[in-house]
Copies of this chain bind each other. A is one copy, B any other.
Amino acid sequence: MTARVQSVLNEVEYIVGYKTYIELIRPFLTHQEVVATGMRQEIDRCREAIRLAGEGHRVAVVSSGDAGVYGMAGIIIECMEQAGLLDLPLEIIPGVTAASAAASMLGAPLMHDFAVISLSDLLTPWEVIEKRVRLAAEADFIFAIYNPKSQGRTQHIETVREILLQYRRPDTPVGLVREALRGDESSVLITNLNEFTNYPIDMLTTVIVGNSQTRIVGPYMVTPRGYKL
């Protein structure tokens, strides 16, 4: 959490968010009125926040990681547009996205060019995602994979593995980080491209796949930037 988020949380009257994320910031709340809603109610949350802001209240909408990466920032602006309220004052406060949080627990896997890809096909056709995976694999991007697996989608990550194996060695390092930086809830594992899908992966896992240069250095996964030591 950034210093800016802490000060804004103190200034607002209302906090709107998915109930799981509200619980994460509960220790920081004092006077604020909380509007917590369930999963997949993103549009409802935005409309309620905009209604309150339209009445002149100061409102914070919370999002996990960085609100600007697959987060609430976009849908808020789209709902403001639909409501004809694009002139409402809006501050988007960036955060530490899951790729950065997971990388910090693995060592330094993101020292070179990387692609951030979500495997969720709720809002994106799988063909689009698969094409991106194939081209990014060919381009030797490091991968930061969000939403790698859910109960309804268990095969996508296997397909990603098969595509990557066409371009990268089976022993390419892969890091699995679950609930990155959420204290005791966090778990970290470094494995490789051939084996990583044998380990538990769910929607709270971030998968980092190394590029052709990534290597294991002691307990760390490191992609060299290219310095001559």
Contact = CB atoms under 8 A, between A and B. Distances in A.
Nearest to A85: B218
A169 interface: no
A132 B80 CA distance: 36
Q: Copy number in this complex? A: 2
A contact residues, range: 35 or more
A59 interface: no
A100 interface: yes
Given A81-B218, A104-B92, A123-B227, A110 B68 contact: yes
A116 B113 contact: yes
Identify the interface centre among A43, A103, A219, A225: most chain B CB within 10 Å of its CB: A225
Interface string A85-109: 0110000111111001101110111
Given A68-B104, A94-B104, A136-B139, 4 more contacts: A87-B218, A112-B124, A115-B115, A131-B139
